[in-house]
Copies of this chain bind each other. A is one copy, B any other.
């Protein structure tokens, strides 16, 4: 048998975690709070159907949608991202600093492909986004984690880890962090950008949830707080448009963007032309603001119901985060309850699944099994309400 590349071995642990998540997602018998899929109601089917029909009614547009396109992305979609997603969030970027990617994950991948050699260190939050960790592992990078406070990454710990490990990359999700739902304070955002310049480290700011805010004051991305080349901004259009469209975007200094574009050229030539064009027309046609309001209304109610359900039904001593947006609530069970150990029984007895917190930590010695990640986005309110009551009773019965 021809041996696989060394990187394969680095990926084993996370692959196993992700398989468990995938299995629970595709098991139709379970109510799943484990994944990160949007609500069924969140897809603007009629609108996308109409936009698509109008594209195929225009021969030039249709050919452009079906032909090879520029690696950096469709000009009209890059302009739409600039106008509707970057400028309103305080990010000043020229069009040659904006690339469309085939989903948000590809953006993170391209940054890895440009920067990471085997053995390079990536600093991540503790806990962190499991899929990003899988990517870092696939580049045989070493992840080191930094502590998180209630207002995001602990800056003192970050600085000491930078000094200790000389990382190439700091990976952070400052707004509605996955898995905790925590948002980083403005002050810390500024400090992070300064540290990246001081120590010449790249910050990879991953921001897929910031647009779907249900409460609280808007926070500008780290990228908006600095003109430094050391911050690369990655985002996804999966949560505000459609995951199946496989669209995301990167914002980076023009010279770095040129390099990232070449990495993308190497791996997949260009991004899907049809969904890029549909999405561009979705934004330029002015459909986004009302669509976003609709999304937030759905998710706000689901969040509220889930929070109340946890508070009303989970065992005494349970703690949880109170996210102002995004998909996730991070729950800490009281001592004596092990979320990872109880997951198979929760699947079996109450037919409910959740994210096992231990999967989101990269430290060798960290257990994290008292933590659970709940995604409230994909499930209707009445089901959430009932499920939280059942799961609360289940946990109480195990104390």
Binding site for B on A (CB under 8 A): 1-8, 11, 15, 18, 37-38, 40, 43, 45-46, 48-49, 52-53, 56-57, 59, 62-69, 102-103, 105-106, 109, 113-117, 120, 131, 134-135, 138, 168, 200-202, 229-230, 238, 242-246, 259, 262-263, 265-275
- CB–CB B49/A62 < 8 A: yes
Which residues of B have CB within 8 Å of A262?
Answer: 11, 15
- CB–CB B56/A263 < 8 A: no
| From B135, B243, B267, contact of A138 by CB (8 A) | B267
| From B40, B59, B238, contact of A45 by CB (8 A) | B59
Which residues of B have CB within 8 Å of A135?
Answer: 266-267
- CB–CB B230/A2 < 8 A: yes
Which residues of B have CB within 8 Å of A134?
Answer: 265-266
- CB–CB B66/A43 < 8 A: yes
| From B2, B46, B200, B229, contact of A200 by CB (8 A) | B2
Give the number of times this chain occurs in the complex, counting copies.
Answer: 2
> A271: shortest Cβ distance to chain B, in Å?
7
In the assembled complex, the Cα of A334 lies from the Cα of B211 at a distance in Å of 62
In the assembled complex, the Cα of A49 lies from the Cα of B52 at a distance in Å of 8
- CB–CB B67/A43 < 8 A: yes
| From B263, B268, B271, contact of A105 by CB (8 A) | B268
In the assembled complex, the Cα of A102 lies from the Cα of B52 at a distance in Å of 20
- CB–CB A138/B105 < 8 A: no
In the assembled complex, the Cα of A1 lies from the Cα of B116 at a distance in Å of 14
In the assembled complex, the Cα of A274 lies from the Cα of B48 at a distance in Å of 11
> A72: shortest Cβ distance to chain B, in Å?
11
> A109: shortest Cβ distance to chain B, in Å?
5
Nearest residue (CB) in B for A71 is B22
- CB–CB A200/B1 < 8 A: yes
In the assembled complex, the Cα of A267 lies from the Cα of B5 at a distance in Å of 16
> A103: shortest Cβ distance to chain B, in Å?
5
> A2: shortest Cβ distance to chain B, in Å?
5
